[in-house]
Amino acid sequence: QVQLQESGPGLVKPSQSLSLTCTVSGDSISSGDHYWSWIRQHPGKGLEWIGYVKYSGATHYNPSLTSRASISVDRSKNQLSLMLTSVTAADTAVYYCARASLNVDDYGAGSLVFWGQGSLVTVSS
């Protein structure tokens, strides 16, 4: 069974950078078949897709993050990472990593089949 596990600091100061890691088990990021995504959920609110990384390192981001987001992959550790710079209180959220298939015949386009349990990040001084 595919499992994803987020980890990182739960508290970040304003203007600093938020850094999270997602460790994948039960699948290899190097298999090349998936979009490895980050999604966030503000407290009591809806879901916002942040972006994805493929095994090749290719990325795509939500323009709403105004170039503050960076997603990378470490194939040797089977991990993906998220960095978000210049954070403010508005970046306080639960951050999830998730996997979607590149092949629409598997689960359709963009369906996030496997999710981590989420990591709450609070931005506060």
Which residues are near another protein by CB under 8 A? 37, 46-49, 51, 60-64, 96, 100, 104, 107-113, 115-118
Q: For residue 67, what are the CA distances in angstroms to 32, 34, 59?
A: 25, 23, 12
Q: How many beta carbons lie within 10 A of that of residue 65, not counting itself?
A: 18
Nearer to another protein, 14 or 107 (CB): 107
Nearer to another protein, 13 or 104 (CB): 104
Nearer to another protein, 117 or 122 (CB): 117
Cβ–Cβ < 8 Å for 119, 95: yes
In the complex, the smallest distance separating the C-beta of residue 25 from another protein, rounded to whole angstroms, is 16
In the complex, the smallest distance separating the C-beta of residue 70 from another protein, rounded to whole angstroms, is 16
In the complex, the smallest distance separating the C-beta of residue 8 from another protein, rounded to whole angstroms, is 16
Strand segments, DSSP code E, in the chain are 3-7, 11-12, 18-25, 34-41, 47-53, 59-61, 69-74, 79-84, 93-101, 112-115, 119-123
Nearer to another protein, 49 or 55 (CB): 49
Rounded distance between C-alpha atoms, residue 87 and residue 80, angstroms? 20
In the complex, the smallest distance separating the C-beta of residue 98 from another protein, rounded to whole angstroms, is 8
